Amino acid sequence: MPRQLPPFSALRTFLVVASHLNFSKAAEELHVTPAAVTHQIKALEEYVGVQLLSRTKRRVVLTEAGEACLPDLREGFDLLTAAMSKVHREKKRRMLTVSVAPAFASKWLIPRLDSFAAANPEIDVRVSATTRLIDLSDEKTDLAIRFGQGRHEGVHVERLLTESMAPMCAPDLLDCEHPIRTPSDLRHHRLIHDISVPAADSRPNWKIWFDLAGVRGIDPFRGLRCTLADLALQAAINGSGVVLGRVTLARDDIEAGRLVLPFNLSVPTDYGYFILIPKSRIRQQNVIMFRDWLLSIAKDRGPARTVGR
């Protein structure tokens, strides 16, 4: 059987001492005491059966045996370092960073991620939730999902989901003191506005919906305003009023019965959820797998249930 290698720590100590030819400086680099360095060198020399360093009061020099083994030993450590670098690069490659808005992350992506993890256990997904615009050329983000009109330069853009806006509320409001039976009944309830889309002139709003429903005499601008879509939905779930909310984003809450659509009337929008991929990532296997999974999940969705009157 081949002879067992000396302890790794002793070999590394020898390399450091050989580079400094000074036990104190070697101890400082290794964050140990000079006595510990001496112990490691002595143990290594006893193991190989030959003296590697000659130490006097004034200096430390390599013996003939130490000089002979040093180049190969350095090369071996260089190879080990290169191998570990490959391991770290491989680990980094298997980490997929996805940038999404907090509302989309909590309401749509996170509840569905388990199916991706089950099918791809070798890929770790890092969800970076932010509403700010990001620079996809910064080498930190592999894929982003953004709500808007899909107008992004310099990246691969693909529509994931379309979106529409519709009134939705907690089920209790259908049979409360002022039950919601017709659109006109909304005069008795607080209106909740999702103002997470910054461009007010292109944002679907209660006025547009009231006009479609033929409702008059209700101030479409009163009520609660939320700058995050998930907060607007949560306010409606809590019974604080009726939100003109994103149907796609609220789908799970509707299916679970936390929200209901009291009217079979929605406002179509030019907005949707888009997959954004840096051109440098478009052919990476992890990115392709995640993009394909996103599209398959989006394709499988069905229409949201309504209790339209």
Write down the pLDDT at residue 93: 54
**Domains of the chain, each with CATH number or no CATH:** 8-91 (1.10.10.10), 95-161+271-299 (3.40.190.10), 163-269 (3.40.190.10)
Q: How confident is the model at residue 19 (pLDDT cuts 50, 70, 90)?
A: confident
Owner of token pair 């809450």: 253
Average pLDDT, the chain: 88
CB–CB of 164/267 below 8 Å? yes
272-287 mean pLDDT: 92
pLDDT tens profile 209-219: 999 999 999 99
Write down the pLDDT at residue 245: 96
Write down the pLDDT at residue 2: 47
pLDDT tens profile 99-117: 999 999 999 999 999 999 9
150-173 mean pLDDT: 93
147 pLDDT more than 60: yes
177-199 mean pLDDT: 92
CB–CB of 270/138 below 8 Å? no
| Encoded tokens for 21 | 């030819």
40 pLDDT more than 70: yes
Determine how β-strand 143-148 pairs with β-strand 95-100: parallel
Write down the pLDDT at residue 114: 95
131 pLDDT more than 90: no
Write down the pLDDT at residue 309: 47
Write down the pLDDT at residue 139: 65
Q: How confident is the model at residue 305 (pLDDT cuts 50, 70, 90)?
A: low
Higher pLDDT, 13 or 200: 13
278-288 mean pLDDT: 92
263 pLDDT more than 90: yes
Write down the pLDDT at residue 77: 86
256-275 mean pLDDT: 93
Write down the pLDDT at residue 198: 64
Write down the pLDDT at residue 145: 95
Proportion of the chain above pLDDT 90, given as a percent: 59
Write down the pLDDT at residue 123: 93
Please state, in angstroms and rounded to a whole number, the distance separating the CA atoms of residues 144 and 197: 17
Q: How confident is the model at residue 90 (pLDDT cuts 50, 70, 90)?
A: low
